[in-house]
Amino acid sequence: MVVNRLRVNSLLGVLLLIGILCMINILAIRHGGRWDLSEAQRFSLAPQTLRVIGELQQKVMITVFTHDRSPGFRSYRDLLETYAHGNSLIHTAFVDPEQRPGLAKKFNISRLDTAVFESGTQVIHVTKPTEVELTNALIRVTQETKKVIGFLEGHGEREVEDRERNGYSRVKELLLEQGYEVERLSLQEASDIPDHLAVLVIAGPRYAFSSKEHERVTQFLQTNGRALILIDPETTSGLESLLAPWGLMLDAGIVVDEQDRLAQGSPTALLVRTFTDHDITHNFDVPVMLPVSRHLTFHKNNERNWDFMSLAQTSIKSWVETDFSDKAPVLNVDQDTAGPLILAAVLEPQASKVTPKIAGPAMVVIGNSSFASNTYIKFPGNTDFLFNAIAWLAREQKLVSLTAKDPALRPFLPNPTQEHTLLAIQVFSVPVLLLLLGLTIWRRRRHR
């Protein structure tokens, strides 16, 4: 009898313990907290992201086309679990495109690890499993209207329909995936630049603008227009006279940098690493590849009374070269302009208490257009730099204010000096040390 009573008590104790554990798990799932103990805080969202998730008031469906063996699967899963935990209106699904080819075809999926955001009639594609990309897509997919990016044509500019190496077709594809609309514009056919353009892009013109075209661009910039102007060196587009009233000067020559350039590459193939603290470049630490660039100068006493701020510049070991008769150019102190040199800049009216800068016109000028071509846009820093500039010009401050977390492992891109040092250490120093160590051991053993 006593034994039976002990057995019943033990059974009840076990059942009670199981019940308590079940209740604790239920409460933890519904009301429990989350802790991030990872090295790079990869499971913690930025305050801006938490605000965007908290303010979300419409359903968003996120479908990730991937599989559990894909490199991006775990990153997508970890981040999206955190997003969905913050708002019940966010729903996620993971689909293997090989098992459901019909659904992949419906969304025009051309690469693995692509996330599709849907909300209402809006559809946004994301190809990078990062907080910046996911939050930006969440913002764009919940906007009622799409902002229009207009690309000017008719002066030898790079074309968004050109799929060759020098074309901008990849830029157009990325803009469409980011939720923008893209239009082609010819000032020879249109009487004025349309008011609905969020950003006017002038990408590498090679032929001169007419006086009427100058007037239209000037009027656009004076009436709250915002433009991205990419100008290559050694071109005669006539934009020099257009930009002069704003205080911007486009001097002749090509920038050469012995320090910030591609290792073992041409000294004109710049690998820019120095950025100022602007919304476009805030916490920007990824090098930007600018092949064959020109520099920008500014005169404060300009007709428009605009402000100027540098975005990117070369190192102190750079200069402007005008004579390339020698394949290995050398700084001529008497003739060449020495660095650091400005390669990209923002111009906007001086701020007033009544009208803040963000509400008025602005332009971003970069002394190179090939960095965004199909050949170079795949370089990570080039993509981020271009789209940060476009987002800022399109008055999408929420997007450019987000910055990616520092990864636990970051790729190292050496400049020529660093590469030579590494080469000396790895190829010469280490073998010589091993040889000396071997000889020392051999001599000691021989004399024993």
CATH of residue 188's domain is 3.40.50.880
**Higher pLDDT pick, 3 / 350:** 350
Whose CA is closest to 49, among 171, 113, 139? 139
Q: Within this chain, do residues 360 and 306 fall inside the same structural domain, yes or no?
A: yes
Identify whether 224 is part of a domain: yes
Among 141, 175, 200, the domain-final residue is 141
**What's the confidence (pLDDT) of residue 202?**
95
Could you tell me if 95 and 216 lie in one domain? no
Do 83 and 100 lie in one domain? The reply is yes
Do 198 and 116 belong to one domain?
no
The tally of domains found in the chain comes to 2
Phi then psi dihedrals of residue 134, to 5 deg: -70, -40
Cα 118 to Cα 76: distance, rounded to the nearest angstrom: 16
In the DSSP assignment, the letter for residue 413 is -
State the Cα–Cα distance between residues 170 and 173, nearest whole angstrom: 5
Please check whether residues 239 and 155 belong to one and the same domain: yes
Q: Which of these ranges, 97-106, 128-137, 327-336, 393-402, has the smallest mean pLDDT? A: 393-402
**pLDDT the model gives residue 166:** 92
Residue 97: inside a domain, yes or no? yes
Same-domain status, 135 and 154: no
Specify the residue for token string 């300009």. 302
Is residue 266 domain-resident? Answer: yes
**DSSP output for 123-168:** EEEE-S-SHHHHHHHHHHHT-SSPPEEEEEESSSPPPTT--STT--
Do 236 and 175 fall within a single domain? yes
Q: For residue 440, tell me if it sits in a domain.
A: no
Same domain membership, residue 356 and residue 219: yes
Point out the domain boundary residue: 85, 108, 141. 141
Share of residues in the chain with pLDDT > 70 (%): 82
pLDDT of 40 higher than 50? no
Q: How would residue 406 be classed by pLDDT, with cut points 50, 70 and 90?
A: very low
Q: How confident is the model at residue 245 (pLDDT cuts 50, 70, 90)?
A: confident
Confidence of residue 354 (pLDDT cuts 50, 70, 90): very low
Residue 171, pLDDT score: 93
- Mean pLDDT, the chain, rounded, equals 81
pLDDT at 212: 87
Residue type, 96: D
The Cα–Cα gap between 263 and 420 comes to 9
227-262 per-residue burial string, b: 16 or more CB within 10 A, e: under 16:
bbbbbbbebebbbeebbeebbbebeebbbbbbbbbb
- Other C-beta atoms within 10 Å of 219: how many? 12
Q: pLDDT-based confidence at 404, cuts 50/70/90?
A: very low
Outline where 223-350 has alpha helix (H): 239-243
Question: In which domain, by residue range, is 111 found?
Answer: 47-141
Give me the CATH number covering residue 93: 3.40.30.10
Count of Cβ atoms closer than 10 Å to residue 144 Cβ: 7
* Domain match, 245 and 99 both: no
Residue 49 has pLDDT above 50, yes or no: yes
pLDDT of residue 132: 79
Residues of the chain with pLDDT > 90: what percent?
25
Within-domain flag for 123: yes
Residues 212 and 73 in one domain: no
pLDDT higher than 90, residue 226: yes
d(CA 3, CA 90): 55
Q: Quick one: 118 and 157 in the same domain?
A: no
Residue 21 lies in a domain: no
Is 12 within the bounds of a domain? no
User: 24 in a domain, yes or no?
Assistant: no
- One domain, residues 124 and 198: no
Give the end of a domain, one of 141, 158, 188: 141
Closest CA to 309 of 321, 300, 301: 300
Per-residue confidence band for 413, with pLDDT thresholds at 50, 70 and 90 = low
